[in-house]
């Protein structure tokens, strides 16, 4: 019997726009913060680089204080939907395996996923760590990302895949 163990190439964790101003508007916001926090802790243990964005932080504020982003390799403010910026592309290793968490699944998470896939990265949408203002948007966005070539995973599954290579 041959082994079908999946090995991740150059794992990375993206934290997309998890800002305090969004808390009252986003479905299950506290839950996705808890999962993102767990993934940040795992990233420290497993030496997985972390990339963080805020959406227009002058108007919408900083990342939620519950998230310890002290080990972030790159923290950017953006005014476009996608996290994929020239600065991020320079910092991210080619053909990385990127786990994406954050908001909103049908806007910034989707656009980031599509941009990363177009540039040859493998994307893992962490289904228990993405959300939107409208609950109904989440499964539709996840289906669209899957159709585009993203892998749909959970936080624990992705962390286990990272642990296999370290």
Residue of 13 and 42 predicted with greater confidence: 13
Q: Determine the Cα–Cα distance for residues 18 and 16; give it in Å rounded to an integer.
A: 6
Q: Determine the Cα–Cα distance for residues 64 and 40; give it in Å rounded to an integer.
A: 13
- C-beta separation of 114 from 148 below 8 A: yes
Instruction: Note the Cα 160 to chain centre separation in Å.
Output: 16
Residue of 5 and 123 predicted with greater confidence: 123
Phi, psi angle pair for 16, to nearest 5°: -105, 105
Query: For a pLDDT cut of 70, what percent of the chain falls above it?
Result: 90
pLDDT-based confidence at 1, cuts 50/70/90? very low
Catalytic (active-site) positions: 17, 78, 108
Overall average pLDDT of the 136-146 stretch? 97
- The pTM (predicted TM-score) of the whole model is 0.90
Q: Which residues contact 28 (CB under 8 A, 6 or more apart)?
A: 131
**Has domain 11-165 been given CATH number 3.40.50.1010?**
no
């Amino acid at each position: 019997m041959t082994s079908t163990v999946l090995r991740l190439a150059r794992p990375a964790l993206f934290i997309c726009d998890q800002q305090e101003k969004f808390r009252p508007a986003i479905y299950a916001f506290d839950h996705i913060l808890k999962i993102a926090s767990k993934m940040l802790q795992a990233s420290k243990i497993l030496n997985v680089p972390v990339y963080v964005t805020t959406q227009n932080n002058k108007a919408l504020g900083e990342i939620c204080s519950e998230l310890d982003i002290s080990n972030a390799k790159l923290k950017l403010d953006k005014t476009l939907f996608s996290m994929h910026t020239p600065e991020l592309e320079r910092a991210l290793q080619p053909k990385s395996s990127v786990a994406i968490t954050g908001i909103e699944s049908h806007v910034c998470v989707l656009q980031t996923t599509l941009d990363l896939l177009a540039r040859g990265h493998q994307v893992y949408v962490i289904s228990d760590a993405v959300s939107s203002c409208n609950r109904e948007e989440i499964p539709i966005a996840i289906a669209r990302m899957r159709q585009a070539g993203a892998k749909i995973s959970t936080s624990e599954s992705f962390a286990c895949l990272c642990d296999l290579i370290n």
